[in-house]
Structure 1
Amino acid sequence: MISDIKLLNLLHNQPDKGLELMMEAYMGLIYTIVYNQLSNILPNEDIEECVSDVFFYVFNYKDKIDLEKGTIKALLAVVAKRKAIDLYRRNKKSKAVEIPIESMNENIFDKFDSVSDSVSTDERNNFLIKAIKSLGEPDSEIIIRKYYFKESSKDISKVLGLKVNTIDKKASRCMGKLKNILRGVL
């Protein structure tokens, strides 16, 4: 693997070759980050376009890259996550985004009491989605971002314009509300 210093020099002196090497080295990582954020919401074409936007952005940002502050890999990862979140928000504003029930992360059930064997997974997921939506905005979005997309409270706070401690308090209260709503059902 090429060092960050050599890669940055190539981006400046031989831009085509530098971009090609950067994409070869980090395409898998960037695609994985974007795909994990958007795969259940947007088609593959939009995901691929977002990945391209990440490399294009970093390529155009090459004059401002300071390797003392971090690696090119870290910069690409941060840009990928932000671009994916931005695309998610733009898509959400343009149309209602439904999270497919079958794609809901099963780990969220770990937060609740034991699950009755008599209720099918789809029924549990349907009920869980309805319960989360019943919390209203921004609470339902906080729960989905935190436990489905596994975003940090800091990232959620930036997107929603709320303080980090507010996000944490709301998430905790919402989980308590969900536990009460779901008690006896799940």
Structure 2
Amino acid sequence: MKITSDNFIKQFKKKKEAALEYVIDTYIGVVKAVIYNNINIKKDTHLIEECISDTFLGAFDNARQFKGDSEDFKKWLCTIAKYKAIDMQRKIARSPLTTEMDEATHAVKSAEEEFFTRENTIELLNMMSELEQMDRDIFTMKYFLNMQNQEIADSLGITKAAVDNRLYRGKKRLRKFSLGGSIHEKTV
């Protein structure tokens, strides 16, 4: 079924990935603007992109709560974006590395911190090994090489929406796996 401006809300509520792609393609500009205007650290494109991704995924996860038409949907999505930006701003404010002076103070990691960082990385890599090859490649480019979603899409010859979708589904599978479930269970 082709997703159009007439049926995207209904399909979005049914959790159709094609509807998510339509929403991302249609509203990426306005969501990016809302986030950019509500976050103080504009130079960190990685955090802004993460916030944008969280906005679309949050809307997708809570799609059934939405009631209204396409204009209401745009307002609803912008509200989610604003609160995701506020949450990101709080996360940044709580971070011990918010200023250059703090960065210099925390530049030297203790042996314990280094050990836990290495252990978490090994655990993440073990969980990622359960993903499909394409998803592993995307996760590696995103979280280990710090590439932007569009760069990943260009590198792999797929759309940015496909990268966003695979990141979303992969995070969901990893979360389920980390909670003791099987990574190969079908996600709804």
- Normalised TM-score (structure 1): 0.46
Larger Rg: 1
